[in-house]
Amino acid sequence: MGQGFLSRVFGGGSSKESGGGGAPGKANARISNRELQTALRNAQDNPAGIQQARLLIEQLGNQLSNAERAEAYRQLAAAPSYRNQRDNSKDPDTTCNFTSQAMAFEALGLDYQEKARGKQAEEQLYDRFYAKGMGSRIEEKDRMKLARDQGLRAWQLDTPTFGSGVDARKWFEANVLPQLQGGASATMGIKSGTFRHVVRVQWVESGGVRLDDPWGEAVGYGKGEFGYSSLNEGASGKKTLGGDQKGKGDDRPIPWDSIATIMSKRYVQFYNTKGGGAGKGS
């Protein structure tokens, strides 16, 4: 999908984004366990560190309050490296799905050892998906096959029609936030007109949903509007592993009125480790 296509679907305005709410740095609960504090710091952009922190959360068990556990998972949700679909070696315009899944899977501690294997995680998922004949990457059920192939549980919730941002917030807080607080990772399918896209869900906040968009900077502004004001700056376009993942789609808050528009009659797909909490996915 090129800039012309995006402009036709969304419009090319450059209005400011509004209503982020609940910034990642704002703690919801103080974590008193020093070992866990250190593990959370070491998890940033480090799949092995994420894995170790998640294991420690499980080991601490009842020593953590529910609020402390949720806060630990919130911090880990921000830890994975941002991934930019537009430098993928195959089908860069349409691999938002695998790129978002790669971020979601890394949030669960999966390590694709990209430098050793000479291939980005999303490209490894692409090759695996088609080598095993899992179906079509645009089908949610087939992408859940990929998650299960990676040793994860996977399940999905379809969204209703949202009449307002208030409706969207109530649904996400009741159905999505508890899954994230229980340690699950997620992607979601968004739409606007005929446009379809997959993004990685980072967290549900008071002002909206914070996400990582593999295409670029998603601009939510005004009531129910959503679009891309520019291309994803920072993507080099080179098929290398060094420094090519930069982009403006990292860590973007989308306000509730926009969520109501792009998430009506769509879906949120969840993943977790076999021993992880929340959800009923197999």
- The DSSP secondary-structure symbol of 85 reads G
pLDDT bin (cut points 50, 70, 90) of residue 5 is: very low
Structural domain containing residue 26: 22-79
Q: How far apart are CA 31 and CA 118, in angstroms?
A: 37
pLDDT reported for residue 127? 98
Q: DSSP label at 15?
A: P
Mean pLDDT of 255-262: 92
Q: Which residue has the higher pLDDT, 128 or 249?
A: 128
pLDDT for residue 16 is more than 50: no
Asked if 99 and 137 sit in the same domain, the reply is yes
Same domain, 186 and 262: yes
- Residue 152 has a pLDDT of 97
Q: How far is CA 107 from the centre of its chain?
A: 9
- Residue 12: which pLDDT band, with cuts at 50, 70 and 90? very low
- Give the Cα separation of 158 and 265 in Å (integer): 7
Tokens of 194: 């005929």
Instruction: Check residue 28 and give its pLDDT.
Output: 64
C-alpha span between 228 and 264 (Å, rounded): 19
Task: Identify whether residues 44 and 155 lie together within a single domain.
Answer: no
Contacts of 90 (CB under 8 A, 6+ apart): 123, 126
- The SS3 of residue 155 is strand
Separation CA 118–CA 126 (nearest Å): 14
Q: Per the domain annotation, does 170 fall within a domain?
A: yes
Clarify whether residues 218 and 116 are in a common domain. Answer: yes
- Are both 73 and 89 inside the same structural domain? no
Q: Is residue 33 part of a domain?
A: yes
pLDDT at 138 over 60: yes
Half-sphere CA count of 190, side-chain side, radius 13 A: 28
Mean pLDDT on 154-161? 98
Is the pLDDT at 27 greater than 70? The verdict is no
Residue 45 structure tokens: 């952009």
Q: Average the pLDDT over each of 35-44, 159-168, 201-210, 268-277 and give the range with the smallest value.
A: 268-277
Q: Say whether both 136 and 197 belong to one domain.
A: yes
Question: Is residue 163 situated within a structural domain?
Answer: yes
Q: pLDDT by residue (tens digit) across 86-122?
A: 888 899 889 999 999 999 999 999 999 999 999 999 9
The per-residue pLDDT for 102 is 98
pLDDT in the model for residue 194: 77
